[in-house]
Structure 1
Amino acid sequence: MSFQHHLFFCLNKRDNGNECCDQHNAFALFDYAKKRVKELGLSGPGKIRVNKAGCLDRCSEGPVMVVYPEGVWYTFIDTEDVEEIIQSHLIQGRPVERLQLA
């Protein structure tokens, strides 16, 4: 089964107190993206898949997600940022430059 876009959200949690995406509300933002993609009718085979990921090794830039097949890395703060990524990148095909990681 293939997808037009595959989103991987880092949901890593470090128990030792070191910085991680979990400390930046990553799980709630993952839940929001998964819910919105489904509400918009964008989920399913040949469409968009929203996945949990372990550490993506960008801890100091978190929370982070990567969108494939383009390999675009994002950081985001709130649901408005995630919504912008969904509307601009996933629906309109225009990556959101202001949220991209180098």
Structure 2
Amino acid sequence: MSESLYFKKHVFFCMNERDDGRSCCAHRGAQAAQEHAKRRIKQLDQNGAGKIRINKAGCLDRCDDGPVLVVYPQGTWYTYVDQSDIDEIIEVDLIGGGVVERLKV
């Protein structure tokens, strides 16, 4: 397996926390969403080499659209409100290979 294709999909959740009163992903449930996604991917046996990796990221510079996550290699950016949005991203994009248009930013 080529190093550049180690994961079929790689998901980065912005976890940025601002302390100056401006909006940020950390204050909009990013930690809980990332933990939920990680648990769900493991439950579905989709984690690990050749499969899906869920990661935390520092500032992704899109807090105004937040909370946000980005899926690579295709570079699709999503926002979300709750766990059902995360579940839809997992089902439609990460596993199904589609795009959740209503959540794209």
| Length-normalised TM-score, structure 1 | 0.96
| Match in the other structure for 2:94 | 90
Q: Unmatched 5+ residue regions in structure 1?
A: none
Tell me how far apart the structure 2 counterparts of residues 17 and 38 of structure 1 sit (CA, whole Å).
35
The question of 1:24 aligning with 2:16 is answered no
| Match in the other structure for 2:9 | 5
Instruction: Tell me by how many angstroms 1:64 deviates.
Output: 0.2
The question of 1:55 aligning with 2:28 is answered no
Letter in 2 for 1:48: I
Residues matched between the structures, number: 101
Instruction: Tell me by how many angstroms 1:17 deviates.
Output: 1.5
Tell me how far apart the structure 1 counterparts of residues 37 and 52 of structure 2 sit (CA, whole Å).
11
The question of 1:69 aligning with 2:73 is answered yes
The question of 1:36 aligning with 2:43 is answered no
Identity %: 54
Tell me how far apart the structure 1 counterparts of residues 16 and 27 of structure 2 sit (CA, whole Å).
9
| Length-normalised TM-score, structure 2 | 0.94
CA deviation string 1:11-39 (max 9, x = no partner): 01111221100111111000000000011
CA deviation string 1:46-80 (max 9, x = no partner): 10000000011111111000000000000000000
Q: Deviating runs (4+, > 2 A) in structure 1? A: none
Q: Unmatched 5+ residue regions in structure 2?
A: none
CA deviation string 1:70-97 (max 9, x = no partner): 0000000000000000000111111101
Tell me how far apart the structure 1 counterparts of residues 93 and 29 of structure 2 sit (CA, whole Å).
22
Tell me how far apart the structure 1 counterparts of residues 41 and 16 of structure 2 sit (CA, whole Å).
22
Tell me how far apart the structure 1 counterparts of residues 60 and 27 of structure 2 sit (CA, whole Å).
14
